[in-house]
Amino acid sequence: MDTAEIRRRFVAHFAEDTSVGAHAAVPSASLLLDDPTLLFVNAGMVPFKPFFLGQETPPYDRAVSVQKCVRTPDIEDVGKTTRHGTFFEMCGNFSFGDYFKEGAIRLAWELVTKPLADGGWELEESRLYPSILDGDDEALQLWKRITGVPDDRVIRLGPKENYWSMGVPGPGGPCSEILYDRGPAYGPDGDFGPKGEDRYLEIWNLVFMQDELGAVRSKEDFDIIGSLPNKNIDTGMGLERVAFLLQGVENMYEIDVMMPVIRRAEEISGKRYGADHDDDVRLRVVADHVRSGMMLIGDGVTPGNEGRGYVLRRLLRRAVRSMRLLGVEDRVLPELMPLSRDKMGETYESLITDWERISTVAYAEEDAFRQTLRAGTQIFDLATREVKQGGGHTLSGERAFALHDTYGFPIDLTLEMASEQGLVVDEVEFRRLMGEQRRRAQDDARSKKGRHRDASAYRAVADRLGRPVEFTGYAETVSEGTVAGLVAADGVVSTASAGAEVELVLDRTPFYAEGGGQLADTGHIELDNGARVEVLDVQSPITGLVVHHARVLEGEVTPGLRAHAAVDLERRRSISRAHTATHMVHKAFREALGETATQAGSENAPGRFRFDFSAAGAVPASVMADVEARVNDVILDDLSVHAEVMTQREAVASGAMALFGEKYGDQVRVVSVGDWARELCGGTHAGRSGQLGVIKLLGESSIGSGIRRVEALVGGDAYRFLAREHVLVAQLSDTLKVRPEELPERVHDIVERLRAAEKEIEKVRVQQLLDAGSDLASGARLVGPVRLVAHRADGVGGGDVRQLALDVRGRLPAGEPGVAVVIGVADGKVSVVAAVNDLARERGVSANALVRVVGPLVGGRGGGKDDVAQGGGADASRVDEALALVETEVARATGA
């Protein structure tokens, strides 16, 4: 059974179910959702999170979906196991306060065991083992009753395996898995732990979302503070896992949507799948990453140096690299990716219609990487020649790191090529250097190093200069130098005239190039021929070169001219104060929160700074106040801020901290604020802590999982902010006729009174709604034997529409068939609720059918049970037409 058919049967099983009711078939969401906690959608339930968290009302009670997912934490395990892939499809059925454990278990078991002829998968029941959370007796009894499996076939597992939560306070609940026994060839009998996963393969996980969690400290350590008001079902079934079982292959890489890529890779590499373990892993990596990269590009990701773009770049380059390790040095993506497109395009048609864009992005990335490999190979050959000429046998970790860092040369290739030359690589040193460099900061800095993609122009200027540019900015903000070269859009140029923007290189400069979180200096350069240029930005596109992005104000600039360079002094001082403040805040947070509060990024701008650091959760207001008080006390102490140059070993011994993706040579610069804060740093700083004046923390927020951001002001900017705050407090005090210290209590009283007033208003609104229900019920029309209310409620939405419909139904005559359909229109959104009483249902009227009929007219859809159903849409222009259709549908259903 091919994967497309497995997927189709899954959706049909739930969409056509009659036992608990048809599920709304929800198409896969994009891999990219506006969720700051996720890089990509990584589970089938993610698009439904707002429903489970109670943030939004679901337009249906039941749903089924096959969701595209990407997970990258296990990227290094891809190809090595039968279970790990980056892109996968998660099949799931969901109940939002509708059916619960019994329905979920029955539906899952029916699909898994139902004969092929009846639309099922017909897996052998004797190979299936349900698992439960140890102690969940309700689930145990349901599994035994519904499936008939004996007690010893139901596996009891602990919360680490069989309790689900989102890792934060909110919904949670026990799970039940369906495990498939692949037989003794894959492991010993009865080992249902992690070591037995190859044999007892989890194919489906049923989450019984029933608990409200307070604190979640780990998978096994959490607080259950109560029961959820609505019990929900969230299941996840790995499509690829079921596919390789039903297709009789060994692992997910050999299924019909992936194996064509492996077969083509065999043909062009000359390797045979199944002949060598290492080659098999590489072939599987190729199949997985080609598909994953294609799906990411299809959803709008482009290769880049950070975030989602970096993940995509890594996947595509790992695929190309794996083919190279298989002996293929020609372009491979044009050979492989179309095969993946043809198979996945059977389900995701946009891969076919948008193929030109997808292929262009993918193939361009491969071409760029091939150029990287060519350049890296030349450098590698030079390095190995030097090692051999010196009589050595080891390529240093520093050389391997330079190949990786500067040329993007993968360490795998370095290891392989070194082995071919009879050399080994100092991997320990390489890993140490990699550990010192946080990739994200490195990529961000790299993206700003220069405005020209081709570094050859910069290298030409650097070669002509013959030495690194001398930076004099630590000791002075004005210095003399000589124009060493000019770079423009077309590369190295010999002259730049008034009005032109050019990148100017001096042999020595006081201008600080952006780096380490510190913004670049600006200022002016005057040349001895009378020419003047304004410096707009300063970057270091390659090591040792400082480039001034400048606008020529007057005259003509040519290499060789003497230059008088002057930094904007006030801007420099303001930025330097911000940089020193960042060091001080970093130290204070580590004192307050512990050594794990490590800097994860910063930006030091004139008068303000941004500081990112690791933290498990939000920083309490009391800690923020303590940190602010601590750094301002240090300002009053007027400590000396000084820098020393020493070896890395000496720096570490002195207690200096080395930060995220900074590159450090053997000689490092250590900046100290007295004997209190000490860090490795290449930036500029204030001379004494007292020069900062005052630091004001504006607040903190989350910018990602485990990372918090503090925004702050320093110096004059902080003073002016506090002055404005003082004026504001004075104005409020005058308006409210209280002393400043009484403001919080007075504001609290006002807010409480407003809340009380809002509650009273809400009571009035609900009463008006109920009064409207009485009037509507008394005016019900007779359609055949049915009393029908079909009403448009302008300005009413969401739960109010449902309440009104139920209230109207309850007010209709008890002894007659009754139907209430209310369509609310509020804020451009349409809400539809149908409520049908028992007598009307006996006459053939279904609330679910009514909502499904009118849904398309209002630009949406919906569903539910026969007694109550709801839906929504975004087109209010046809509401009256939809209400008329309700009457027609009721008449048709009753034969009136």
pLDDT digits (tens, 9 = 90+) for 476-501: 999 999 999 999 988 899 999 999 99
Assign 438 a pLDDT band (cuts: 50, 70, 90). very low
Q: Which of 523-532, 699-708, 738-747 is predicted least confidently?
A: 699-708
- Residue 776: is its pLDDT beyond 70? yes
- Residue 236: is its pLDDT beyond 50? yes
Average pLDDT over residues 323-335: 93
Q: Give 284's contacts (C-beta < 8 A, 6+ positions apart).
A: 78, 79, 251, 253, 262
- 3-state SS of 420-445 is HCCCEECHHHHHHHHHHCCHHHHHHH
Q: How many CB atoms lie within 10 A of CB 558?
A: 15
Radius of gyration of the chain (CA): 34
- Judge contact between 151 and 99, C-beta under 8 A: no
By CB atoms closer than 10 A (0-12, 13-18, 19+), residue 4 is middle
CA distance 10 to 243: 12
Among candidate residues 863, 798, 608, 559, the one with its CA nearest the CA of residue 710: 608
Residue 792 exposure: Cα atoms within 13 Å on the Cβ side? 16
Assign 341 a pLDDT band (cuts: 50, 70, 90). very high
To the nearest 10°, report the CA torsion of 449, 455, 457, 461: 70
Share of the chain above pLDDT 70, in %: 95
Predicted pLDDT at 883: 92
Q: Give 474's contacts (C-beta < 8 A, 6+ positions apart).
A: 643, 684
To the nearest 10°, report the CA torsion of 414, 416, 422, 426: 50
Share of the chain above pLDDT 90, in %: 55
Does 452 show up as a binding residue in the annotation? no
Predicted pLDDT at 407: 65
Which pairing describes strands 532-539 and 478-488: parallel, antiparallel, or unpaired?
unpaired
pLDDT (tens digit per residue) in 99-111: 999 999 999 999 9
Predicted pLDDT at 447: 44
- Judge contact between 278 and 80, C-beta under 8 A: no
pTM over 0.75: no
Average pLDDT over residues 623-636: 95
By CB atoms closer than 10 A (0-12, 13-18, 19+), residue 360 is exposed
Q: Which of 338-342, 527-531, 853-857 is predicted least confidently?
A: 853-857
Predicted pLDDT at 687: 95
User: Using the 8-state DSSP alphabet, how is residue 453 labeled?
Assistant: S
In one-letter notation, the amino acid at residue 682 is: G
Predicted pLDDT at 455: 63
Average pLDDT over residues 854-870: 88
User: Using the 8-state DSSP alphabet, how is residue 657 labeled?
Assistant: B
In one-letter notation, the amino acid at residue 551 is: R
The 3-state DSSP class for residue 82 equals coil
Angle (CA) 211-212-217 rounded to 5° is 105
| Exposure b/e, 595-632, CB count within 10 A at least 16 = b | eebbbbbbbbbbbbbbbbbebeeebeeebbeebbebbb
Q: How many CB atoms lie within 10 A of CB 639?
A: 19
pLDDT (tens digit per residue) in 781-826: 899 899 999 999 888 877 788 888 998 999 999 889 999 999 999 8
- Judge contact between 829 and 843, C-beta under 8 A: no
Predicted pLDDT at 397: 87
Does 681 show up as a binding residue in the annotation? yes
| Exposure b/e, 875-886, CB count within 10 A at least 16 = b | ebebbeebbebb
pLDDT (tens digit per residue) in 405-433: 766 677 767 887 788 788 889 988 888 88
| Exposure b/e, 44-77, CB count within 10 A at least 16 = b | bbbbbbebbeeeebbbbbbbbbbbbbbbbeebee
Among candidate residues 464, 556, 474, 456, the one with its CA nearest the CA of residue 513: 474
| Exposure b/e, 749-773, CB count within 10 A at least 16 = b | eeeeeeeeeeeeeeeeeeeebeebb
Q: Which of 36-50, 440-454, 624-638, 844-858 is predicted least confidently?
A: 440-454
- 3-state SS of 712-751 is EEECHHHHHHHHHHHHHHHHHHHHHCCCHHHHHHHHHHHH
User: Using the 8-state DSSP alphabet, how is residue 518 labeled?
Assistant: B
Higher pLDDT, 761 or 252: 252
Task: Provide the token pair at 116.
Answer: 């092929």
Q: Give 789's contacts (C-beta < 8 A, 6+ positions apart).
A: 776, 777, 779, 780, 781, 808, 812, 819, 820, 821, 822
Assign 373 a pLDDT band (cuts: 50, 70, 90). confident
Assign 451 a pLDDT band (cuts: 50, 70, 90). very low
Higher pLDDT, 680 or 615: 680
pLDDT (tens digit per residue) in 86-95: 999 999 999 9
Predicted pLDDT at 107: 96
Predicted pLDDT at 269: 94
Assign 448 a pLDDT band (cuts: 50, 70, 90). very low
Tell which phi-psi region holds residue 21, choosing left (phi > 0), alpha (psi between -120 and 50) or beta. left
- Residue 18: is its pLDDT beyond 60? yes
CA distance 173 to 227: 10
Predicted pLDDT at 666: 60
Among candidate residues 621, 550, 609, 614, the one with its CA nearest the CA of residue 583: 609
- Judge contact between 825 and 853, C-beta under 8 A: no
Angle (CA) 543-545-547 rounded to 5° is 130
Which pairing describes strands 128-133 and 155-157: parallel, antiparallel, or unpaired?
parallel
pLDDT (tens digit per residue) in 568-598: 999 999 999 999 999 999 999 989 988 767 7
Average pLDDT over residues 128-156: 94
- Judge contact between 399 and 433, C-beta under 8 A: no
- Residue 347: is its pLDDT beyond 50? yes
| Exposure b/e, 138-165, CB count within 10 A at least 16 = b | ebbebbeebbebeeeebbebebebbbbb
How far from the centroid of its chain's Cα atoms is residue 163's Cα? 24
- Residue 219: is its pLDDT beyond 90? no
CA distance 844 to 404: 71
CA distance 69 to 30: 9
- 3-state SS of 659-726 is CCCCCCCCEEEEEEECCCEEEECCCCCCCEHHHHCCEEEEEEEEEECCEEEEEEEECHHHHHHHHHHH
Predicted pLDDT at 94: 96
CA distance 105 to 111: 10
Assign 444 a pLDDT band (cuts: 50, 70, 90). very low
| Exposure b/e, 457-473, CB count within 10 A at least 16 = b | bbeebbeebeeebebbb
CA distances from 322 to 262, 363, 412 (A): 12, 16, 9
Average pLDDT, the chain: 88
Average pLDDT over residues 18-28: 92
Q: Which of 115-119, 327-331, 377-381, 891-895 is predicted least confidently?
A: 377-381
Among candidate residues 526, 491, 520, the one with its CA nearest the CA of residue 506: 526
Assign 449 a pLDDT band (cuts: 50, 70, 90). very low
Tell which phi-psi region holds residue 274, choosing left (phi > 0), alpha (psi between -120 and 50) or beta. left
Assign 614 a pLDDT band (cuts: 50, 70, 90). confident
User: Using the 8-state DSSP alphabet, how is residue 175 labeled?
Assistant: E
Among candidate residues 623, 634, 578, 581, the one with its CA nearest the CA of residue 605: 578
- Judge contact between 339 and 264, C-beta under 8 A: yes
